[in-house]
Structure 1
């Protein structure tokens, strides 16, 4: 049932008007008032708070004038002060003449890295991938390898001296939509 669009029920009974229900006074009855009684305690507390605030403002109003009228404290004469000592920090000159020695360990150069981007049964598929790599600006090779499963055509890049160089080229290939390249510690066949 749709309660939002439902029409309200109309009351069949009409309110009855009784003679004594009006707010006018009847003979011998006290008048009925609509006003609520005034809470005098709240009024007294509010007046006390306002009076306290006014007293506070009056008491601090003369403070700034008293401070302005006070004579300023004069500094002692210069002949009573001790002489300014020479700068005792010499680190600026010392740092300028220092040399920093850093002990950098040499990186161990491992075997050369090769990156293989594909291995295919058909040489035409390997050449297609090699052309796609050439379009990315890198040079690759197609190598035929005889394995236990038969003849395979591998598309490889490298050799790279460090893995970082190989990773740089792999990211370049990924930006050119060539995925699946793996970096291996291989020797050139």
Structure 2
């Protein structure tokens, strides 16, 4: 059944004389309830405004009744101005700066004594000459010069890879650390006995 929502009218009652207890659909169009004026809030706002105005008038009145102080008399005599120690540049009372600029210090450094015995460094000892030559080539790639020396002992023939002779132990240690970084291990430093 189609309904007309634009024009709402009261539905027709089917029975005569009987009223339905239900109100008609669409609600009743009566008067809206009257809004009350918030008198209590208005009274409180007015009281606060008047208290604030009264407080301001008291403050203003107290400021008006205060006597202005006469300005200080200006004198043309120059009084010494107080000196602030922070504003002044400090005066040096030390003389050591001037003395040190003109003083010459002589330092005697003894020269390092050269050892009478030079150092040798052995990096390997092998049964075959081919192994010794191979280690000599690895050392040569590090920029150092090695020698292969053949020695005969109680347990046979050995081929030793030797660097040096070095005049100082410090240079020998420097080359040893260079070889350690290149994975050439087991190098030992000793005095060469000739």
TM-score (norm 2): 0.50
After superposition, residues 105-144 of structure 1 pair within 5 angstroms as 105-110=110-115, 111-144=117-150
Q: By how many angstroms is 1:139 displaced?
A: 0.8
Q: In 2, Cα distance between the equivalents of 1:179 and 1:77?
A: 79
**Runs of 4 or more off by more than 6 Å in structure 1?**
none
* 1:77–1:130 CA distance, 2 compared to 1 (3 A): closer
* 1:92–1:126 CA distance, 2 compared to 1 (3 A): same
Q: In 2, Cα distance between the equivalents of 1:144 and 1:180?
A: 19
After superposition, residues 36-75 of structure 1 pair within 5 angstroms as none
Question: What is aligned with 2:108?
Answer: 103
Segments of structure 1 that go 5 or more residues without pairing to the other structure are 1-73, 79-85
Q: By how many angstroms is 1:135 displaced?
A: 1.3
1:90 to 73, 95, 98: 95
Question: What is aligned with 1:174?
Answer: 180
Q: By how many angstroms is 1:92 displaced?
A: 1.5
Question: What is aligned with 1:150?
Answer: 156
Q: By how many angstroms is 1:184 displaced?
A: 0.6
Over the residues paired in the alignment, what is the CA RMSD in angstroms? 2.6
Q: In 2, Cα distance between the equivalents of 1:183 and 1:153?
A: 17
1:160 to 155, 166, 170: 166
Larger radius of gyration: 2
Aligned residue-pair number = 110
Q: In 2, Cα distance between the equivalents of 1:160 and 1:106?
A: 18
SS of corresponding position for 1:157: strand
Q: Name whichever structure is richer in helix by fraction.
A: 1
SS of corresponding position for 1:165: helix
Q: By how many angstroms is 1:87 displaced?
A: 5.1
* 1:177–1:87 CA distance, 2 compared to 1 (3 A): closer
